[in-house]
Amino acid sequence: MSFQIALDGPSGAGKSTVAKALAAKMGLIYVDTGALYRAIGLYTQRKGVDPKDAEGVAKLLPEISLELRYEADGTQQVYLNGEATGNKIRTPEISMYASAVSAIPAVRDFLLDTQREIAAKNNVVMDGRDIGTVILPNADLKVFLTASDECRAKRRWLELKEKGMETSYESVLEDMRRRDHNDSTRAIAPAVAAPDAILLDSSDLTVEECVAKVEALALAKMKK
């Protein structure tokens, strides 16, 4: 049996940073499930299909093949029909596409098995929105990571700036709130904490403090 950590929460809460560090420390595979939705968003955008058009997007799915590969340093790369997606899936435009296509049931179905298969074969820390509620309901540990809106927007803005994508803090905050609203109010697999998830607010914590807290929780579960 594999050891599974479900790390859910809204964008900018620090999930990927914490998950990456935790994976390195504990020898787990880090799975960034948002990147899978982003890759479908990228394909939808390239095909000129409206990401809110459920039927139109569903028709594209048979044309899509996604593969997760890991580089030597543990970095995940999503391959879309054989092409490394890299930073192409990290733009604000593709964030909105990802959020829109992720509300489509056919898209979520399409990605369900991929995610479960990886978690069945590896010890994972899986970062997403519905990992603890839908994908891995029996995960060994479920953490729902949050932080204030302003704090999350500032982190996301700095991250985009570092990647050379110039935008204003205000527009990042506005996009984030719109995306949070879409993600948490959609009919299917809304981004909410599982009843048995442990809530962790990262607003006033350093990355190291967050990682230490999740690691302590994971070690306690491993001992059981």
CA atoms within a 13 Å half-sphere pointing along the CA-CB vector of 58:
9
CB of 133 to ligand DC, least distance (A): 10
| Total number of residues that touch ligand DC (CB under 6 A) | 13
Residues pairing with 200 in the sheet = 145
152 binds ligand DC (CB under 6 A): no
Which is closer to ligand DC, CB of 102 or CB of 146? Answer: 102
Query: Could you say which residues in the range 81-120 bind ligand DC, by CB under 6 A?
Result: 98-99, 102
Q: According to the 3-state scheme, what is the secondary structure of the chain?
A: CCCEEEEECCCCCCHHHHHHHHHHHHCCEEEECHHHHHHHHHHHHHCCCCCCCHHHHHHHHHHCCEEEEECCCCCEEEEECCEECHHHHCCHHHHHHHHHHCCCHHHHHHHHHHHHHHHHHCCEEEEECCHHHHHCCCCCEEEEEECCHHHHHHHHHHHHHHCCCCCCHHHHHHHHHHHHHHHHHCCCCCCCCCCCCEEEECCCCCHHHHHHHHHHHHHHHHHC
Which is closer to ligand DC, CB of 28 or CB of 36? Answer: 36
CA 214/CA 200 separation, integer angstroms: 9
Given a contact cutoff of 8 angstroms between Cβ atoms, the answer to whether 76 and 67 are in contact is: no
CB of 195 to ligand DC, least distance (A): 18
179 binds ligand DC (CB under 6 A): yes
Q: Which stretch binds ligand DC (CB under 6 A): 22-30, 75-83, 128-136, 201-209?
A: 128-136
Find the residue with minimal CB distance to ligand DC.
Answer: 34
Which is closer to ligand DC, CB of 103 or CB of 218? Answer: 103
CA atoms within a 13 Å half-sphere pointing along the CA-CB vector of 208:
0
Query: Could you say which residues in the range 32-71 bind ligand DC, by CB under 6 A?
Result: 33-34, 37-38
Which is closer to ligand DC, CB of 31 or CB of 211? Answer: 31
Which is closer to ligand DC, CB of 134 or CB of 211? Answer: 134
CB of 51 to ligand DC, least distance (A): 11
Which is closer to ligand DC, CB of 4 or CB of 99? Answer: 99
CB of 24 to ligand DC, least distance (A): 19
Which is closer to ligand DC, CB of 28 or CB of 95? Answer: 95
CB of 1 to ligand DC, least distance (A): 22
Binding site for ligand DC (CB under 6 A): 11, 33-34, 37-38, 98-99, 102, 128-130, 179, 183
